[in-house]
Structure 1
């Protein structure tokens, strides 16, 4: 891109003969300055690598557990290579219920609620703008299903009118009255 712009600048302003000579000299100057910059950058970089690869250590296995060779090779790579498994939300709720059943009797009522609260706090689903507007209506006391459906359709109409106004804002014709 730089060469194309340079060519247009040289040939457009000075013509074929002078522009060609000027283009050649500017390209040489650009190449020389690039070499100088690259050499000055290389001078500050380390000369060689002094690091040594870590020796693979066998993982410590507690108890009389037999670990398959594939699992052992993954465990040798250390924790930075292990990833947190993705568990869907419905499976997390099931795990929450099973853990709650194994707790003491006093905590069996609060354990599922705390688990659900933590799941709700950690969900990655962000509410859309439309859902936020509907939630705002619900929090204001509008809980009638018919009223909520009407509110959603009104929101869609308002958005549609805004789009229509935006597309026709430069239109010189007078607006037609809505009948």
Structure 2
């Protein structure tokens, strides 16, 4: 985290090194250890509650086209019982910490905050590695721009390494 790097080691040898973007000082990436269990290509992004309230709601209030421009759908409820809602039918100014019965879900696409691939390592912090549409941020020397998850530079290089030897998988696929 402190070095803003991901290092992949195979049998004691470094096989891949990539720059990463980690959590902002007020939303730091936690230190933990876990294993990647699976990958998701072209993921949706279900916006975490903290980000919905602190980041997204102020943007929605300032810009009526914000949700449509970023391809974000609004749902009332959770899981199989959730229902898609027209954002124009919501009084956004009446919502807050104790009154936000919605889920915001960004659909896959070029603006999706998770980019084109997400590396899942289920953990207590809900932190994972993922791509990003903001690739220019990797050029910065200090890369604390995320809300806790880890954005990986050139994530398809990592995906290709992780899926090496898997039948029916190639970089092209």
| TM-score, normalisation: structure 1 | 0.21
Structure (1 or 2) with the larger CA radius of gyration: 1
Specify which structure has the bigger relative contact order, considering alpha-carbon pairs within 8 angstroms and separated by 6 or more residues: 2
Q: TM-score, normalised by structure 2?
A: 0.21
Relative to its length, the structure with more strand (as a share) is 2
